A and B are shown apart, each in its own frame.
Chain A
């Protein structure tokens, strides 16, 4: 079975830190940052990038469409 490695890019300045991506991630990649963005929100970020499988779950549930998802097949 092919294995996938994924990665996400969060537009941290547009992120409102709602946390819906955090709970939607099946591999617990995402956390809200301790830092805040310009609006004062604890933005989402990849806390555990190695676990990302590029499933897009976070992107799908993100209300502000600030997450871009990439996925690569690894042997």
Chain B
């Protein structure tokens, strides 16, 4: 057995970052995720692994520090919550445009605007459809437990480096704030300069050595023809992610007549709702997308011959439901149930919504 602890989701993000050999964290305080930077500051990783932790002057500065750090081939990350992620949108699209790997953690709170500090899932569109300008995608992972908060830090870096693309952990205030048992990852050493040269030597701006071409970290190309070719390359990369990186979990789906589709904390609520519904004789299962981009479209389509109705459950006014409907393409009824503004739905409410929408009650 590894190192088992009882920890908050946010604290685990910090611990997992240190353990996976992260080189730098750049952040700005915002509720409900401030414990991530606070934990790092208490842990003093600069003494332990040499990891740099900087409290930036703004979210904008923090994400641009990430851009600078990522340009050096270093494993770097930032974290924030909804309003802060809006400020980081510029940096996200620049990272994607410069093909830089980085981790961005979003512990979502209710919006729009300053909204509330309570949990929500209303940043789905922002995370998976863009948020910044231009045709780009983030790799988006949605943890549903404190354990996954641990696991997805390393996984995000792995995917970010595999595809040279920023990756986001899209969590929410529930999972960020709750305490759960977690088995922490083993320590991995930070990459040495030699390892960085081996892994990212074709692009990392570490100082131009004699006899090699200088490296430029940029998203600019004023030549439209080249810019179109570059966009084709990006789209091919996103298709490869859709081909290879879809992750999801199916719970009680084998005999299901109805299906919940939910991610993150809503998926946890749906698990309890399944118990309640099944006790009433309603056979319902859960498909939990783990990657929100790439989305488990095919996994949903594979259920269409089996289920009579799909309820997309989100703590939003209905965002992910659009991707469910795109997958289903009108073949079975798809409805949405959500609470928002920081309200968390109860399992009973979810079952009631299922009954009202599909069982004529």
A and B in direct contact, judged by CB atoms within 8 A: no
Chain A residues near B (Cβ < 8 Å): none
Chain B positions within 8 Å of A, measured between CB atoms, are none
